Amino acid sequence: MPVGTKATVKSLHPDEVRALGAQVVLGNAYHLHFRPGEDVIDDLGGIHVFSGWSGPILTDSGGYQVFSLRDTISSLDEAGVTFRSVYDGSDARLTPEGAAEIQRRLGSDIAMCLDVCLPAGAPQKELERAVRLTTVWAERQVDAARAPGQLRFGISQGGTDDELRRRSLEEISTLPFDGFALGGLAVGEERQEMFDCVEWAAPLLPRAQPRYFMGIGDPVGILEVIARGIDMFDCVLPTRTARTGSALTWEGRLNLRNARYRADGRQLDEDCPCPACERFSRAYIRHLVTQDEILGLRLLSLHNLWFVLDLTARARAAIERGTFSAFRQDALARLARPSEEES
């Protein structure tokens, strides 16, 4: 799911995002609450009308944003969390009911519960408290008012701690949510430790509802969590990588600022039909990037999103054919090949 934090996938028209194969895009309740405000979006017809995206939209509750900026938090209790806005430093308060109401007024199709998301290495007592508050808050959000047709997903916490993660999974999965997410991963822990946790945690989620890994979007990570039972995932990585001047390819990540591409007439990735590759060379895109031309970042964003969306489409097709294991093995082998910049 491409991330459109502020109701836009950066630099791209909604029709372009749709044409790349995206089915769902994300918005962030934290940022939209402060700018322009859910009241403005509601009055203008909801987030679909406001953003021009006619497909499904998932909104994060803002919990990750609040807790990733821990130095802005002034108090945390069973009722909610008080913090300073990143926009003007003013005091703000977010409660489970408030997060649900913001998302109701935004009118998203999938609303995420407010949870307590801690970084890797958080003290055990803080992790225990995060699990407890996440469950208490989930219980208060499961029946909160929703926009017409809006689904609500619960989130489990507990980091990679076996006991706490299992406790959270059991508590959250017994609540009547429409889908369930693994939160509190990809937050600084060792990568293999994260995959090992998903290996046993994902199967503990209900089979009849979607399983969502929050915050993974690199090609290898996507394949690995799919293999472990995950259905949905999001990450800013494809577009953020594009804004650094890099392309995701089967040769690895290409840094187009590298002088080796100055006269490289090849497309970004062999046989890629994306809007960037169908017409433009590495040399031209490098020229745009090094000259700070907006088109360069747009083309790389289009390409990177195509790459991960095409990868997931191929993975889905392989699952339907019953050949995912072979597909994954072949894809991982291709992605593991040394890139030109490594050779």
Residue at 1 is within a domain: no
What does the block give as tokens for 175?
A: 């609540």
Are 176 and 104 in a shared domain?
A: yes
Are 71 and 80 in contact by the 8 Å Cβ rule? The answer is no
Q: Which amino acid, 15?
A: D
Question: Among residues 307, 230, 237, 234, which one has the least CA distance to residue 273?
Answer: 307
0.85 cut: is pTM over it? yes
Q: Given 235, 266, 295, which residue is the final one in a domain?
A: 235
Are 150 and 231 in a shared domain?
A: yes
Question: Among residues 39, 12, 173, which one has the least CA distance to residue 106?
Answer: 39
Residue at 5 is within a domain: no
Residue at 280 is within a domain: yes
> Three-state SS for 274?
coil
Residue at 40 is within a domain: yes
Domain count, the chain: 2
E strand or H helix at 246: strand 246-249
pLDDT by 10-residue block (mean), the chain, 343 residues: 98 98 98 98 98 98 93 96 97 98 98 97 97 98 98 98 98 98 97 98 97 97 98 97 98 96 98 97 98 98 98 98 98 84 54
Instruction: Report the chain's C-alpha Rg in angstroms.
Output: 20
pLDDT of residue 340: 61
Which domain does 230 fall in, by range?
Answer: 14-235
The one catalytic residue among 60, 115, 218, 264: 60
Residue at 2 is within a domain: no
Which residues, in sequence order, are CB contacts of 261 under 8 Å at separation 6+? 254, 282, 283, 286
Burial status of residue 310 (CB atoms within 10 A of its CB: 0-12, 13-18, 19 or more): middle
> Three-state SS for 295?
helix
What does the block give as tokens for 125?
A: 């007592």
162 is annotated as an active-site residue: no
Which residues, in sequence order, are CB contacts of 200 under 8 Å at separation 6+? none
Are 33 and 168 in a shared domain?
A: yes
Are 32 and 115 in a shared domain?
A: yes
234 is annotated as an active-site residue: yes
Condensed to tens digits (0 to 9), the pLDDT of residues 196-240 reads: 999 999 999 999 999 999 999 999 999 999 999 999 999 999 999
Are 185 and 253 in a shared domain?
A: no
Q: Given 235, 255, 278, which residue is the final one in a domain?
A: 235
Are 202 and 304 in a shared domain?
A: no
Condensed to tens digits (0 to 9), the pLDDT of residues 36-57 reads: 999 999 999 999 999 999 999 9
Are 38 and 151 in a shared domain?
A: yes
Are 221 and 268 in a shared domain?
A: no
The one catalytic residue among 115, 161, 218, 234: 234
Are 145 and 287 in a shared domain?
A: no
Q: Given 178, 204, 235, which residue is the final one in a domain?
A: 235
